[in-house]
Amino acid sequence: MTTLLLACGSSIAAEGSLDFVIYASHADMRYANTLQDLLSDASQEKANTKIVQSLEAAAASDADVVILFLTPTKEKIADEVLEKLKKKKVLGVDYGSAQLFGLLGLSINGGACAHFSSNAPKLQTPPCELLGERAAEAPFAPYQGAAGGDNFGMYIPAKSELAKHLDVVARCVGDENYAPIVRQGNFVMVGYSGLPTEWSQSYRALFTDVARQLRARERESFRAADLPITAPGIYFYELAKGRSRDDLPRREHYLRFEKPTRFTATLIHDESDNMMMIFMGEKDRQHWTRKDSRNGDPLTITVDITEEDIKKNGDRLWSLAITNFDAQHAPHCTLHIDYVDADEE
């Protein structure tokens, strides 16, 4: 018997092992209730339900998969809850779940996403590890009618370094650089978050497949994406024209600091009339710094990384992102990255 632990609905004692636990922070009970119906229909087995009224209760459950529908919140999540979730398989829907994934240290998180507001581009499903031999289908709309909820997708071009380390389950039709469903290890982020009653049949089938295949996978040890670290030095490359869908108009460099350091990045470029460079720590966007160039001028960011900064960011990386927004030009870039020990200053 498939057993479902539901976050909203009537309280029925669950028997046997749990396949899913659902927690929906929405005041609208239909988010959880209709998902119960969806998963029950998909398995052709009756699902037993039990009310869980908090994220803490969902994290403490013995279910194979935790399914979260979370709206954004500024409430602090206890470290104990985060550590429990790291040991789970989690399917997170809505932007609050994306923010939660950021707290866990995952690359699939709200800061990597763009919002489509009331728009929700059609989907296509490229080959992916999670769904295995699932038959590909023509692009389809995620909703039966007008889009509801907060719809967003992760910026992850197929040629990007990050795409080599994540499993993209669905991409947007019309701008394939964005993906509303992406997996990283035991975690799946879903960016189309309208009510399940509003979903199209194709999207309902896709969501069900994702949930069931995540449940069937063996749980992995929690780990961040093993991204390459950019060492100090000089780097040469060309960026694509802004909004390019074939090549990369953006380059990201991943950084790690072991001791107090003065970090300096200087970008020299030609052609582009709209270039941006952003530096930040992965946790809480530490030392977030943005520089823009509208007329081809060089860009420089200098940041003093302290022992306290390193401790706060923990094992997480720092990043330097360079983006060309000029849709008419593909600039040649020369990037100088320099580390100077604070003791030498």
pLDDT tens by residue, the chain, 345 residues: 444 444 443 333 344 567 888 899 987 888 888 887 887 775 555 545 545 778 999 999 988 899 999 999 888 999 999 999 999 999 999 999 999 999 999 999 998 999 987 789 999 999 999 998 766 678 999 999 887 778 999 999 998 989 999 999 999 998 899 999 999 999 999 999 889 899 999 999 999 999 989 998 999 999 888 899 999 999 999 999 998 877 889 999 999 999 999 999 999 999 899 999 999 998 888 999 999 999 889 999 999 999 999 999 888 899 999 999 999 999 999 999 999 987 665
Q: What is the pLDDT of residue 46?
A: 55
What confidence score (pLDDT) does residue 59 get? 94
Tokens 């609208």 appear where?
28
Calpha distance 291→99 (Å, rounded)? 25
CA-based nearest residue to 94, from 170, 20, 28, 24: 24
Q: What are the DSSP calls for 254-305, one per residue?
A: EE--SS-EEEEEEEEESS-SSEEEEEEESSTTTT-EEEEESSS--EEEEEEE
CB-count exposure of residue 57 (10 Å: 0-12, 13-18, 19+): middle
Contact 214, 181 (CB under 8 A): no
- Inter-residue long-range contacts of 14-17, CB under 8 Å, 24+ positions, other chains counted: 14/48, 14/49, 14/50, 15/48, 16/48, 17/62, 17/64
- pLDDT score for 29: 82
CB 252 within 8 A of CB 318: no
End-to-end distance of the chain based on CA atoms, in angstroms?
66
Q: Helix (H, G, I), strand (E, B), or coil: what is residue 143?
A: strand
The reported pLDDT for the residue numbered 342 is 74
Query: Reading across the β-sheet that carries 113-117, which strands appear in turn?
Result: 113-117, 151-155, 178-179
Distance of CA 143 to the CA centre of its chain: 21
Q: Looking up tokens 């590909």, which residue turns up?
A: 136
Instruction: Give the Cα separation of 234 and 136 in Å (integer).
Output: 43
pLDDT of residue 10: 34
Residue type, 164: K
CB 336 within 8 A of CB 253: no
> What 8-state DSSP symbol labels residue 98?
H
Burial 248-271 (b: 16+ CB within 10 A, else e): bbbbbbbbebeebbebebbbbbeb
Residue 102 backbone phi and psi in degrees, to 5: -65, -40
Q: Which three-class secondary structure state does DSSP give residue 225? A: coil
Give the pLDDT score at 74: 86
CA-to-CA distance for 139 and 320, rounded, in angstroms?
34
**Residue 233, helix vs strand vs coil:** strand
Closest CA to 263 of 224, 317, 323: 317
Expressed in percent and rounded to 5, the helix, strand and coil fractions of the chain are 20, 30, 50
**pLDDT at residue 8 in the model:** 42
